Structure 1
Amino acid sequence: MNEVSTGALFAVLFLLIVLSAFFSSSETALMTLNRYRLRHLAKAGHRSARMAARLLERPDRLIGVILLGNNFVNILASALATIIALRLGGEGAIAIATGLLTLVILLFAEVAPKTMAALHPERLAFPFSWPLAVLLKVLYPLVWVVNLIANAMLRLAKVDTKGGRSDVLSQEELRTVVNEAGAMIPRRHQKMLLNILDLEKATVEDIMIPRNEIVGIDITDPWDEIITQLANAQHTRLPVYDGSIDDVLGILHLRKVITDVIRGKLDRDRLLERMKANYFIPEGTRLNTQLVNFQRNRRRIGIVVDEYGDVMGLVTLEDILEEIVGEFTTDPASLSRHLRRQDNGSFLAQGNVSVRELNRVLDWRLPTDGPKTLNGLILEHLQSIPESGTSMKINGFPVTIVQTKENKVKTAEIMPMKRRTRAAGRE
């Protein structure tokens, strides 16, 4: 070592500090890579992404080779700094050299490169993966021994060394990913993705048409009334029942009888022949499950029944799709079938509007684990049938009863949340 000039020793020391920065930044860059983007790039044929993904398949080996290299260059740099200190200032300069080297390594080989790697992991991880792969092959026997000892110590501490990093996201974690996508996903598409995640939380009771609002054909009605009902029907599919909705005979598609109606050849027997068999849905069925069931059974409408077989309501495929994409309406003044915006900024809502529909259309956060409709929320809040003009606040939302009918609220006026917030700000 005495034959080597001090200048050469400084050059080697500088090189070792650069290598230390390389190992430090490569570790941070590879460990902070977005695994989903990495998989996408690897599948798209990005060679460096494939190499990085291959290294991350065995993180213990990757960390082993990085730490071996990093510790080796740091120890060698310390030894060189000691030799240089002895040459320049004797034994008294060793402490100064140690302090300076610690500061230099901390700033230029640890903090700065690791910060850079954390901010721009792909920029560093992809090119650094190639020399790391070469080092791993060269030092594999030593890395294998180190990992063997380290894994044995972890097993003694009852740590599972075979269980790799899990990239499986929970529903709430996936929701956070969608929300934080920002400009990468249009706001409307974000909302649709979140609505798909919400399907698992809702059941058919949350969106069904209740039995007292089901529009169907009573086969016992006078024939002239049935023909008139078919001619004026607003739905393409109608349940056919015998006297009571509990005795549903089947589902009639108007397309199958319209020709017979026009030709005057339709009678009760032919109408019954054109019906499709009932499709029943048990109460409590999750919307995501029912969407799959509709697809599997090639159905678009089903009758919801309780545990006793009594009819509770009716659910259509369109009802579930509206939970994802919003209302199918071309009327800009009508946000849904049950909500209409008024000139003063408030909303006129029917009492049978579902809580989920209010949350979806008006972007509110009303609880969905209690009453399913606005009428139910109002009755639960007041514990009585209100009179017209009664005002209240439900979860902070001002609600005024506009019209009641017998034992239920027919319509109510709701002040939107944004308007209420601005008013509070002016006060």
Structure 2
Amino acid sequence: MEATLWFTLIAILVLIAISGFFSGSETALTAASRARMRQKEKGGEERAKVVNQLLQMRERLIGSLLLGNNLVNILASALATSLFLVLFGEAGVVYATLVMTLVVLVFAEVLPKTWAISNPDSFALRVAPFVRVITLVFGPFVIAVEWVVVRLLRLLGVDTKNTPILSGQDELRGAVDLLHMEGSVVKDDRDRFDGLLDLEELDVEDIMVHRTNMLSIDIDEGAEAIVEQVLKSPYTRIPLWQDEQDNFVGVLHAKDLLRALARVKGDVSKLDIMGEAIEPWFVPDTTNLKAQLNAFLKRKSHFALVVDEYGEVMGLVTLEDIIEEIVGDISDEHDIDMKGVKTEPDGSVIVDGSVPTRDLNRAFDWNLPEEEATTIAGLVIHEARQIPEPGQGFTFYNFRFRVLRKERNRITSLRVTPVR
């Protein structure tokens, strides 16, 4: 009789240990980094290959582990109940329930899962070969259970095939945001990741230099005046227009102009400006940035004029503008310092109306909406449902906006204050 009791006790302890193995394995394999496992597999680590194979059949993996876990837990509880009945009589049922609840909670759930989550990659590599065997053994039973569950849910009107899942881009964005919150990824790196992921969501209209801010030259001004303007300009490529400012006839590259000057030995009167200009390239304002980036690379061009649905020129976009959406502002010794943003001691920010809302969000880590309008002035007009006058203030999206200056119907300066 005593030997039987000891055998039952040892069996219960073994089953609890097996239950802990199932719990820890489930936590480790679901929390393991698929990216790191993929790199380890490429490095020739066989156990990482097993982990990736298990993660590719995640439903069957989790089902097998749950089946095994429930099986050993129920068996351990049954043995504990029989043991306590022998020791304490009918009161043993209550004692067995209390003791097994505590033991299973601590040693079969919390302890192994905490251990596994502390280093999921290493834990997953160690248990993967054993879990693969378990998955192969329990696989047919799991398939049968899934078949029954799917049909029961179908009877209740639940369609398991059209379950919405996050796209790969959303998963990457969420992972980067989480790592930034934890301190593993700095703000600049997070912004670069977000900029790369946003290329398909943004159109050239969102980043273009607007028509009112473009530097362009009248081809009829004469070669000497054009050369002078090009030399004073900080830009390499300048659009040329003729007769009217919307009639763009070419794009002049400063390097081509210098070569032409060298050929005529500095005699500006002999220059043929139109002969040195290249044909302008027009792109629709609805082109997304990823498509435009690919078009720039394929065409081996860095400059395009943006037109709307009526064919009117709205602005220009360059390859540098798209790259800056990923890496942030790129400045060189010839760039003009655009003093569009000034931080005040009270925490408010003086902003030019033409500053893009997206640039403010990236610079100050704000969350102003970017869908309604491209610039901060456009956002204020959209929300106010009017063209405000200087001195008027509005509060929305947890920010206070006060208009400082206006020219005609354009807001040229405003103060933005986060609401504390």
Flag the 1:169–1:113 CA change in 2: closer, same or farther, 3 A.
same
Distance 1:156 1:340 in 2: 60
Aligned to 1:178: 176
- Alpha-carbon shift at residue 188 of structure 1 (Å): 0.9
- Alpha-carbon shift at residue 197 of structure 1 (Å): 2.9
- Which digits, 9 at most, give the CA deviation of each residue in 1:315-373, with x for residues without a partner? 22222223333333369xx9962415377576554443333334333444444344443
In the TM superposition, 1:238-387 aligns within 5 A as: 238-261=238-261, 263-266=265-268, 270-329=272-331, 337-341=338-342, 349-376=351-378, 381=384, 383-384=386-387, 386=389
In the TM superposition, 1:9-408 aligns within 5 A as: 9-59=8-58, 61-63=60-62, 65-67=64-66, 69-74=68-73, 76-78=75-77, 80-81=79-80, 84-85=83-84, 88=87, 92=90, 95=93, 98-99=96-97, 102-103=100-101, 104-118=103-117, 120-136=119-135, 140=137, 143-157=138-152, 169=167, 171-182=169-180, 183-261=183-261, 263-266=265-268, 270-329=272-331, 337-341=338-342, 349-376=351-378, 381=384, 383-384=386-387, 386=389, 390-393=391-394, 395=396, 396-402=399-405, 404-408=406-410
| Mean CA deviation greater in 97-106 or 193-202 | 97-106
| Mean CA deviation greater in 194-203 or 179-188 | 194-203
- Which digits, 9 at most, give the CA deviation of each residue in 1:195-221, with x for residues without a partner? 233333432223322323322221212
The answer as to whether partners of 2:15 and 2:72 remain within 8 angstroms in 1 is yes
The one-letter amino acid of 1:196's match is L
What residue ranges of structure 1 are gaps of 5+ in the alignment?
422-427
The answer as to whether partners of 2:341 and 2:351 remain within 8 angstroms in 1 is yes
Flag the 1:14–1:398 CA change in 2: closer, same or farther, 3 A.
closer
**Number of residues paired by the alignment?**
407
Distance 1:28 1:14 in 2: 21
Distance 2:393 2:78 in 1: 79
Give the 3-state SS of the residue equivalent to 1:320 in structure 2: helix
- Alpha-carbon shift at residue 251 of structure 1 (Å): 1.1
- Which digits, 9 at most, give the CA deviation of each residue in 1:165-223, with x for residues without a partner? 99853544433221111333232111121223333343222332232332222121233
Aligned to 1:424: none
Distance 2:143 2:170 in 1: 37
Task: Report which of the two structures shows the higher radius of gyration computed on alpha carbons.
Answer: 1
The answer as to whether partners of 1:205 and 1:284 remain within 8 angstroms in 2 is yes
The answer as to whether partners of 2:234 and 2:336 remain within 8 angstroms in 1 is no
Flag the 1:199–1:336 CA change in 2: closer, same or farther, 3 A.
farther
Aligned to 1:414: 415
Give the 3-state SS of the residue equivalent to 2:304 in structure 1: strand
Flag the 1:288–1:12 CA change in 2: closer, same or farther, 3 A.
same
Distance 1:164 1:127 in 2: 35
Distance 1:265 1:406 in 2: 44
- Alpha-carbon shift at residue 249 of structure 1 (Å): 1.5
- Alpha-carbon shift at residue 270 of structure 1 (Å): 2.9
Flag the 1:117–1:164 CA change in 2: closer, same or farther, 3 A.
farther
Distance 1:71 1:344 in 2: 62
**TM-score of the superposed pair, with normalisation by structure 2:** 0.79
The answer as to whether partners of 1:42 and 1:49 remain within 8 angstroms in 2 is yes
Distance 2:139 2:174 in 1: 39
Give the 3-state SS of the residue equivalent to 1:252 in structure 2: strand
RMSD, aligned α-carbons: 3.9
